[in-house]
Structure 1
Amino acid sequence: MIEWDADQIALRQGLAELDEALSAGHVEQDAEGAFSAAKWKLISDTGILGLPFDERYGGLGQDLLTTMYVLEGLGQGCRDGGLSFSVTTSLCSVGVPLDRFGSAALKERFLPRICSGEAIGAHAITEPQGGSDALTMQTRAERAGDHFVLTGGKTFVSNAPVADLFMIYAKTRPEGGPLGVTAFLVEKDTPGLAVGNPIHKMGLRTSPLSEVFLDDCRVPATQVVGRVGGGFLVLDHVMKREILYSFIVNTGEMQHRLERCVEYARSRTAFGSPIGSFQSVANKIVDMKVGVETARKFLYDAGVKVQRGEAATVDIAMAKLLTSRANLQSSLDAVQIFGGNGYMAEYGLEKEVRNAVAGPIYSGSNEIQYNRIAALLGL
């Protein structure tokens, strides 16, 4: 069990002071599918967008585990799940790969903008015909002097409608397999880059999503992140942290949901007794407790391995499977415990179900995680 020190606790408690402001109007904003620039400004002012990045770029210089700990607090305190998702997306999509693989010039130019929240990041990986099979991507990048010309399109790009910086993965060697993909940092106003209209979705509605189109989009070769042909190394580094950061937020959400259900089960009566005295209700709450504690343990244990530089592919895959499933089941159980009230939008619980449905799909679908674990078992 990790014991957090006073500085780490203070970071998380400082963020908690904004819980009410970050959660304000979350039900209404979800119904509208509206991204809140005002809330993004609040988030930016906290400094959490710079948590894992060096102070020279305006970051807070925190390690991976501390970053996870503070982000868990965001999930526990902020009821706007879409906002939290946009935070981890921006942090992971551009900040993380730029910090690890970017040139000194790229870091100096762009990383301070990510840390401050002035720039919102998005990563463009998935394509309509490929889904989770990134090797089938059709987006091409051809060398043209000191530029690359990108042609193609991406879909399901979270943050795209509000993004300033895109990490775009494209094939520089069509027949190169994993060694044929390159990561490019592209600014939103680059000629040839167009962002589609926001796509209406089931959940996480305050985190906007759209397609991105590339039509002879000329990107300076200096904006390659990592090396040419090294895009999958970049993506692997990003996805490990994306799972750790986004799903630790879910554990915070699960913890809040658990506490809310315990309080409701103690105060709500039926047939003359608190509903928590009924085994059918109590068992659901116990399952919620087991789910959040198991998910938290697996995520932090995986984080410890990543921070030590140890192999953690199976650990991260298992953590993703466990957390996404536990979060979805927890959300469904909460609706059942609250009964008719849980089904009503004003309680915010049905929204949490819709948000949780996305967990088994994004950051590498659960089916992909099963395949990774099976392959490493020699199956």
Structure 2
Amino acid sequence: MDFDWNPRQRAAQSAVRDAVRDAFGEPPDRRPQESFFTREEWRTLGDLGLLGLCLPTEYGGGGLGALETAGLVEAFGRACDRTGLVFAASAHLFACCVPISEFGSDTLRKRLLPGLASGELVAGNAMTETDAGSDVSRLATVAEPTEGGWLLNGEKSFVSNGPAADVFVTYAMTDPAAGHLGVTGFVVERGAPGLSVGEPFDKLGLAACPAGGLTFNQCFVPDENVLGGEGAGGAVFQHSMGWERACLFAGYLGLMDRLIEQCVVHVRSRRQFGRRLADFQGVANRLVDMKMRAESARLLLYRACWSMDQGADSVLQVALSKLAVSEGALAAALDAVRVFGARGYRSDFGIATYLRDAIPSTIFSGTSDIQRLLIAKEMGL
């Protein structure tokens, strides 16, 4: 077994960290930004190759496998203190670009993927509904066949990147009686008749990533914008979730590393009762636990991505990875608040921002409870 990156991979990760710090780095006296990403910033991500890491090179992508992709997303997350920006780029790539690349028609791929990889276009994943969160087989959005395509009707309640997106990957019931086998995936482009894009709503964290709702009212989608064929939506969605649950969460590994580093610096310099905080065993043990969780999650994530690259059944590995990274990131952020004390609770020191950004990681891409159900099923329980 080889547990290290080769020189080429290390150089690529170092280049990403340096480029991201140059483009998005904050001076030491400033905290993570709370504004949505701009189109200029998005195009910068495209120029850095971060919006097309695993897409085919013929469409402007990097042509990378899951493991190398995760290594660069991790470097992105480590260097960028705007976790919402890392999340926005990763959701764009894994939940939208990957299914278009894998299941879209030739016409659709040629028309959209170059712009999605370059940063000219922004994509949003429109699956979640008011009454269909974890249970994605109960979609209320329906699609009916019409001449040359489909008419969509329904609402999506939470679309990451939605208010800014040019392209939406969405899912609708085409055969309600068939359950998850009656779901079909569609690509809907902004400006399509019958599509209404909602305004961004306030949320707890991931401030750089705008989110809002969508409404379809007799929205026409041509046949060439169907992903994988009628009834294939469940398989399309689960394929994209495999990439998202593994590679997107590499960005949270970067967040965990950043938190650990900041805590180490703090406890070395902060003194109480005439001693460094680092000299108190209770404090040191807390940082050791943070490190253990981060390294354990890293190994599970790398294993999941390696399994994907081998073409093996990776449901168990991906679920274990997603659960370990998301719960580890949340625990690390809570620990960091405790280590920093009152400074950790103050917004202007930035630690509280990382906590707000970590909380949703246990919810999106399948909640922690959903991951436990998947793991239990794979165990034969």
> Which of the five TM-score ranges fits, normalised by the shorter chain?
over 0.9
Paired residues, number: 377
Q: Is residue 125 from structure 1 mapped to residue 127 from structure 2 by the alignment? A: yes
Paired position in structure 2 for 1:218: 220
Alpha-carbon separation, structure 1, partners of 2:364 and 2:111:
30
* Structure 2 counterpart of 1:29, from 26, 33, 36: 33
Q: Over the residues paired in the alignment, what is the CA RMSD in angstroms? A: 1.4
Counterparts of 1:262-341 in structure 2, within 5 Å, are: 262-341=264-343
Q: Tell me, yes or no, if the aligned pair for 1:36 and 1:206 is still in contact at 8 Å.
A: no
Paired position in structure 1 for 2:357: 355
**CA distances 1:222-254 after superposition (whole Å, capped 9, x unpaired):** 110111100011011100100112211101110
Alpha-carbon separation, structure 2, partners of 1:306 and 1:283:
35
* TM-superposed deviation, 1:28: 6.2
Alpha-carbon separation, structure 2, partners of 1:239 and 1:45:
25
* TM-superposed deviation, 1:104: 1.5
Q: Tell me, yes or no, if the aligned pair for 2:21 and 2:79 is still in contact at 8 Å.
A: yes
Paired position in structure 2 for 1:62: 64
Q: Which moved more, 1:91-100 or 1:78-87?
A: 91-100
Counterparts of 1:1-379 in structure 2, within 5 Å, are: 1-17=2-18, 18-24=20-26, 27=31, 29-30=33-34, 33-379=35-381
Q: Tell me, yes or no, if the aligned pair for 1:22 and 1:42 is still in contact at 8 Å.
A: no
Q: Which moved more, 1:180-189 or 1:309-318?
A: 309-318
Q: Which moved more, 1:73-82 or 1:129-138?
A: 129-138
Question: Given residue 121 of structure 1, which amino acid in structure 2 is its aligned partner?
Answer: A
Q: Which moved more, 1:37-46 or 1:293-302?
A: 37-46
Alpha-carbon separation, structure 1, partners of 2:89 and 2:347:
24
5+ residue gaps, structure 2, are: none
* TM-superposed deviation, 1:35: 2.8
**CA distances 1:178-207 after superposition (whole Å, capped 9, x unpaired):** 210110011011111111111100011110
* TM-superposed deviation, 1:145: 1.4
SS at match of 1:3: coil
* TM-superposed deviation, 1:20: 4.6
Q: Which moved more, 1:297-306 or 1:6-15?
A: 6-15
SS at match of 1:194: strand
Q: Tell me, yes or no, if the aligned pair for 2:51 and 2:117 is still in contact at 8 Å.
A: yes
* TM-superposed deviation, 1:39: 2.3
SS at match of 2:55: coil
Q: Which moved more, 1:7-16 or 1:89-98?
A: 7-16
Alpha-carbon separation, structure 2, partners of 1:51 and 1:131:
28
SS at match of 2:137: helix
**CA distances 1:36-82 after superposition (whole Å, capped 9, x unpaired):** 33322321210121111121111122221111000000111100010
SS at match of 1:152: strand
* TM-superposed deviation, 1:90: 0.6
SS at match of 1:217: strand
Question: Given residue 66 of structure 1, which amino acid in structure 2 is its aligned partner?
Answer: E
- C-alpha spacing 1:341/1:20, structure 2 compared with 1 (3 Å): farther
**CA distances 1:70-129 after superposition (whole Å, capped 9, x unpaired):** 000011110001000000011012210111111221111111111101111111111101
SS at match of 2:289: helix
Q: Runs of 4+ in structure 1 displaced over 6 angstroms?
A: none
Q: Tell me, yes or no, if the aligned pair for 1:123 and 1:167 is still in contact at 8 Å.
A: yes
Q: Which moved more, 1:148-157 or 1:16-25?
A: 16-25
Question: Given residue 132 of structure 2, which amino acid in structure 1 is its aligned partner?
Answer: G
**CA distances 1:128-153 after superposition (whole Å, capped 9, x unpaired):** 01221111101011000111000001
SS at match of 1:50: coil
Question: Given residue 10 of structure 2, which amino acid in structure 1 is its aligned partner?
Answer: I
Alpha-carbon separation, structure 2, partners of 1:56 and 1:39:
24
Alpha-carbon separation, structure 2, partners of 1:27 and 1:202:
17
* TM-superposed deviation, 1:308: 0.6
TM-score after normalising by structure 1: 0.96
